[in-house]
Structure 1
């Protein structure tokens, strides 16, 4: 199943799968600590971020594309409070596994990818739904970017 994932994300999933359940939560915490802060250009502009309301903790995200269509390189940006390690951890997984990839590579990630981390028994179903929603929101924003940059311009 990890063969359907981009290489960096596949490696992360394999790292999770190689661990015992309680160690997976520790790894998620490590990803939480590694989530980069928003760049200055986004910090004072909350209107540029979209809240993932399905997450139990406040999580906001946005994307930026460089290039056009499915070949565009996509940057991912997240904001989540430090007291939300599960939410931040999954955002960290997505950031490390998907940031800078092509739009087509991100859109090809299976919607059930969060389940591949092996956390379904370690975290609540509500948190798993938030993780799935986070990935879905990213994919929706990427699809909108692709559509916007491939649409014929009105002259």
Structure 2
């Protein structure tokens, strides 16, 4: 009888611990969002966003080829901050893994052509953009920058 109670308790503890899987990437991205919200200058925010996009992508660009760093890491795609470039009529996702040609547009993003930066956090971002994100940052840009981004795509 004692053995069966111990076995049942061990199985219960094992089941509960298996359900509480924490993802370091989720905590890392939430911490990044908190740091991002503390920045007040628009230029510093833009630089912070660019560095985050580049660090999430971690790519090496060789002649007509892009080599992704650790692209098979299963946790890399569990929780990702999504970045969008948006004008009045159009929008595009700033993801260098799926659209490496957008790296040409990154040099053009600056304080002059970004009017506003919107942050959408969980759970609203999951409802609007799907459950695989930790948050969404939307860069509202002028028509010229969006036109250049659309031409690159």
Q: TM-score, normalised by structure 1?
A: 0.31
Which of the two has greater helix per residue? Answer: 1
Give 1 or 2 for the bigger CA radius of gyration. Answer: 2
Which protein has greater RCO, CA pairs closer than 8 Å, 6+ apart? Answer: 1
Q: TM-score, normalised by structure 2?
A: 0.31
Which of the two has greater strand per residue? Answer: 2
